[in-house]
Each structure stands twice: as C-alpha cells, then as structure tokens.
Amino acid sequence: MGVQEVQACLDSAHQRCSESGLRLTQKREQILRLMLEAEAPLSPYEVVDLYNAQAEQNMPPNSAYRILDFLAEANLVHKLNSANKYIACSHIACSHPHSASQFLICSQCKTVKEVMMEPKLLKEIQKNVSSAGFKMRHPSVELECLCGECSES
C-alpha cells in the first residue's frame, strides 16, 4: 500500500473514530500505520518487534495486545482467530458499506487474501446458524487454503 493510501486510511480512521467517540491516540495510530504498511497478518509480538525497531522504543507486549484489541473493536483491523494474528482491514478508506469477509489463509506461506462474500452466501450461512439456535457474532469466515504459488510447488 502506497504512502498516500496509508495516509488516506489514517485520515478516514480518525474521522470514523471521532464520529463514534473512540480515541485514536498517537500510539494506536502508529500501530495502525504499521499494520497498514505490513499488509500481512502480524501477531502482537511481531507488532512489538516491528514497533521497537522502527521507533527505537520499548513497547511492552500487553500494550500491543490492548492496542490491537482496540483497533479490532473499531473495525480498523481484523482479528484472524485461527492464526491469532491481526491484519489491517483492506477497506478503511472506502466510503460504501461492506459485506462480510472471507479470509483465505495459505497454511504454507501464511499470506492472507480478504475477499468479500456475496450477501446471498452470507445469508445461507446465517440460515444454518439460526436453525441450530445460534446467532452469528462476527460475520467473517477464515478458510485454511493453499495460495496459487504454494499449490504449484
């Protein structure tokens, strides 16, 4: 993601936060920037290492956990439960609303692709869920895959 795009995301993030009364503090913004630039899923400890290397500071792990949780709550990053990692949302700067995401996770090289689910597909899944007496809490799906490159080799 280019510098301008990152900046656009940060601006948009600031706006969305202030609209909903959330505080996008300096640290949180720094971490969000880092996630946007990474464009790959990062664990809290990886975030710590990256941040400390870049900022020559010493963020404790619990801060990284807290900040990532905040960003996930604010829908600025997604939590990939199956990998215990976080990845920047690829639609922060978009203005139009989005359907749920499918995360395709290559179990070999760990790249992640976020694709949209058709509303119809989401509805079908939710139908299964509700007929079992459950309610979906987080309309996203993580799938264990092989990416194009890895499935060739």
Partner DNA sequence: CTTCTAAATGATATGTTATATCATTGCACA
Partner DNA sequence: TGTGCAATGATATAACATATCATTTAGAAG
Which residues form the interface with DNA (CB under 7 A)?
22-23, 25-28, 43-45, 57-63, 65-67, 70, 84
| Interaction residues for its own copies, span 97-116 (CB under 8 A) | 102, 104, 106-107, 113, 115
Give the one entry of its own copies, DNA, none that residue 106 binds, where binding means its C-beta sits below a cut-off of 5 to 8 angstroms depending on kind: its own copies
Query: Please, which residue, 83 or 92, has the CB nearer to its own copies?
Result: 83
To DNA, the closest distance from the beta carbon of 28 in angstroms equals 5
Give, for 101, the enclosing helix (H) or strand (E): strand 101-106
Tokens of 63: 């801060």
Query: Please, which residue, 28 or 79, has the CB nearer to its own copies?
Result: 79
Give the one entry of DNA, its own copies, none that residue 109 binds, where binding means its C-beta sits below a cut-off of 5 to 8 angstroms depending on kind: none
Indicate the residue type of 122: L
